[in-house]
Amino acid sequence: MCYAIPGKVQSIEGRIALINYFGEIKRAVHELALLAPGDYVYAQGGYVINKVSAAEAESVLSAWKEMFFTLQETDRVYSVFSLANQPADPRLKNILNKATEGKDLTPEDARVLFSREKTEEINLVFKTANYLRHQYHKNACCVHGIVELSNYCRRNCFYCGISSYNKELERYRMSMDEVVDAVSSAANNYGFKAFVLQSGEDCGYGIDELAEIISRVKKRNDCFIVISFGEMDEGALRKLFAAGARGLLMRFETSNSALYEKLHPGYSLGKRVETIKLAYEIGYMIITGSLVGLPGQSQEDIMNDIFFARELHPEMFSCGPFLRHPNTPLAGDIFSDEQLVFKTLAAARLILPREVTIPVTTAFETLSPRSRLQGLISGANSVMVNLTPLKYRKLYSLYPGRAHDDEDVSIQIKETVALLQSLGRAPVDPGNETIDKNSF
């Protein structure tokens, strides 16, 4: 199974290509020197990655065509429902109706969402979020691969297992060749088209070396690259963008600046947000978000995180649970409110701009075996596969018992494919806006 499907360029409007996928038209930015209507392309993250020959594209599309429509029908069955005659508080039903009508929700609306305790009402919120996911994204589910190239980090975050507090951790740094080979293996052997390159802050590579890694990856593979190397100045961001990076993954963690500074001594929320805003101005696709269940965090903080994210122009919103690490200052704090994490995910789908992608993070999956499934039917439309070589993967010890730390890539893929097919999801990720095919 490929993790992207080629589409046919229907028209071009400046730097925007309109791409046809079995009758659905989606937008993607293109930076190719020569691109014309009728060309076949792969796209990820809202960017055209490369052109492919008609013969190659049609070979893939012919294999997918029958399955694509079968998957669509399965997804439709999972996502269609009606709010009518549902046993729920009229205030809640009014808010969910507002969301399905495309209206913006208010902080007061969010308070109502988060205050639900009855199982049937919580499930109704989840179903509405899944309905909106289907309305705006159809059955598209992007599958990204992540390569964790170094666990060195100078930061002293109170909760992170690779922070400077963890003196017992064996540190590693992949060589440039190892990074390029890991990406190329996933691209060539499994069909991945989008990758996150991640490390601790101060990973041992200078900006020029990181730029060289990105350049080498791009030279060997047509792919979309997201970087996650910590806070950077404008010069560094521009250098990595010039090398070929097009996405930035940087959670703000919490929008409560006092809480942020308490958990990150010597660092400020403002500086972190400055990096995100600079990246957006340069042209990066922004992936940001928060943690749920941080010690000292209130429900109001979690709700505010979603509205705060809305101001940062995210293409993807990532929320995950706080999971303690035994070798950090927060070793004694245990988070166990799994339901709150799913409430946050669903609320994000209802509150954020409808085109935003929401992933099921590895931390979600670490909570329980069914978390990935629950996330995908509560509004999420993206999953991640860990491509870090097995000899290093456990050393990227963000928290104990991390999902997939012992699994070969092929096993992860088999499980991911089986789950997505059972839900009717397909790996179409050209962009975030689906256009009504009847308008053409």
Over range 166-184, report the average pLDDT. 97
Percent of the residues in the chain that have a pLDDT greater than 70, as a whole number: 96
**Residue 142 clears pLDDT 90, i.e. is over it:** no
Q: Are residues 52 and 147 in the same domain?
A: no
Whether 360 and 418 map to the same domain: the answer is: yes
Specify the pLDDT at position 437: 28
**Statement to judge: residues 44 and 116 lie in one domain:** no
Domain boundary among 50, 71, 92: 71
Q: Is residue 197 part of a domain?
A: yes
- Is pLDDT at 97 greater than 70 in this prediction? yes
Q: Where in the sequence is the domain holding 192, given as residue range(s)?
A: 138-429
Q: Report yes or no on 32 lying in a domain.
A: yes
Task: Examine the fold and report which residue of 31, 53, 71 is the final residue of a domain before the chain moves on.
Answer: 71
Max intra-chain CA distance, the chain? 60
Task: Say how many domains are in the chain.
Answer: 3
- Do 114 and 198 fall into the same domain? no
pLDDT in tens, 210-269: 999 999 999 999 999 999 999 999 999 999 999 999 999 999 999 999 999 999 999 999
CATH number at residue 226: 3.20.20.70
In a domain, 364, yes or no: yes
0.85 surpassed by pTM:
yes
| 101/122 same-domain check | yes
Please check whether residues 67 and 89 belong to one and the same domain: no
> Tens digit of pLDDT for each residue in 22-62?
888 888 999 888 899 999 999 887 889 999 999 999 998 88
Residue at which a domain ends, from 51, 71, 91: 71
Is residue 186 within 8 A of residue 409, CB to CB? The reply is: yes
What are the residues facing 44 on neighbouring strands?
47
Answer yes or no: do 339 and 209 share one domain: yes
Same domain for 131 and 245? Answer: no
337 found inside a domain: yes
In terms of domains, do 156 and 282 share one?
Answer: yes
Is residue 434 assigned to a domain?
Answer: no
Residue 208 has pLDDT above 80, yes or no: yes
CATH number of the domain that 63 lies in?
A: 2.30.30.140
Give the DSSP letter string of 100-160: HTTPPPPHHHHHHHHT--SHHHHHHHHHHHHHHHHHHHTTB-EEEEEEEEE-------SS-
Instruction: Answer yes or no: is 1 within a domain.
Output: no
In a domain, 438, yes or no: no
Q: Taking 80 as the threshold, does the pLDDT of residue 117 lie above it? A: yes
125 and 217, same domain (yes or no):
no
Same domain, 321 and 376: yes
Q: Are 6 and 42 in contact (CB under 8 A)?
A: yes
In a domain, 437, yes or no: no
129, 142: one domain: no
